[in-house]
Structure 1
Amino acid sequence: MTEAPPTPTPPRFETVPHSGERLAYLAVEGRDEGPTLVWLGGFRSDMRGTKAEVLSALCEREGLPFLRFDYSGHGGSEGRFEDGTISGWTEDAAAMIAARTRGPLLLVGSSMGAWIALRLAQRLPGRVRCLLLLAPAPDFTTRLVEPRLTAQDRAALARDGFIAEPSPYSDQPTVYTRRLIEDGAAAAVMTGPIALDLPVHVIQGMEDPDVPHAHALELVSLLPSAGVTLTLVKDGDHRLSRPEDLQRMERAVLALLGEGAASA
Structure 2
Amino acid sequence: MSTATIESPAATLTVGTGSEAREIAARILAPSRPDTPFLVWLGGYRSDMSGTKAIELERFAHERGLGCLRFDYSGHGISGGEFRDGTISRWLEESQAALALTGTAPVILVGSSMGGWIALRLIQELRAAENGQRVRGLVLIAPAPDFTSELIEPALTDAEKVSLIERGYFEEPTPYGPDPNIFTAALIEDGRRNRVLAGVIEAGCPVHILQGMKDPDVPYEHALRLVSHLPTDNVVLTLIADGDHRLSRPEDIARLRSALEGIIDA
TM-score, normalisation: structure 1: 0.92
Name the SS for the 2:60 alignment partner: helix
Q: Please tell me whether the aligned partners of residues 16 and 96 of structure 1 are also in contact (alpha carbons under 8 angstroms).
A: no
* Residue from 133, 143, 147 that aligns with 2:150: 143
Counterpart residue number, 1:243: 250
Q: Kindly report structure 1 stretches of 4+ aligned residues shifted beyond 2 Å.
A: 5-12, 16-20, 99-102
1:229/1:179 Cα in 2 relative to 1: closer, same or farther (>3 Å)? same
Structure 2, unaligned runs of 5 or more: 127-131
How many angstroms does 1:130 deviate by? 0.9
The residue type equivalent to 2:123 in the other structure is A
Deviations 1:147-206 (CA, angstroms, capped at 9, x unpaired): 110111111101100001111101011000000000001111001111222110001000
CA distance in 2, matches of 1:37, 1:240: 18
Please tell me whether residue 224 in structure 1 is matched to residue 216 in structure 2. Answer: no
Counterpart residue number, 1:44: 46
How many angstroms does 1:224 deviate by? 2.1
Deviations 1:120-142 (CA, angstroms, capped at 9, x unpaired): 11111131121000000000000
Name the SS for the 1:126 alignment partner: helix
CA distance in 1, matches of 2:197, 2:82: 28
Counterpart residue number, 2:55: 53
Counterpart residue number, 1:186: 193
Name the SS for the 2:133 alignment partner: coil
Aligned residues: 255
Counterpart residue number, 1:24: 25
Deviations 1:46-98 (CA, angstroms, capped at 9, x unpaired): 00000011011111111100000000110000000000000100000001111
* Residue from 108, 113, 125 that aligns with 1:111: 113
The residue type equivalent to 1:25 in the other structure is A
CA-atom RMSD, angstroms?
1.6
Alignment of 1:32-111 (within 5 A): 32=33, 33-111=35-113
CA distance in 1, matches of 2:141, 2:49: 15
Deviations 1:228-253 (CA, angstroms, capped at 9, x unpaired): 10000000000001100000000101
Q: Please tell me whether the aligned partners of residues 133 and 204 of structure 2 are also in contact (alpha carbons under 8 angstroms).
A: no
Of residues 18-27 and 229-238 in structure 1, the stretch that sits farther from structure 2 once superposed is 18-27
CA distance in 1, matches of 2:23, 2:180: 25
1:6/1:241 Cα in 2 relative to 1: closer, same or farther (>3 Å)? closer
CA distance in 2, matches of 1:29, 1:9: 8
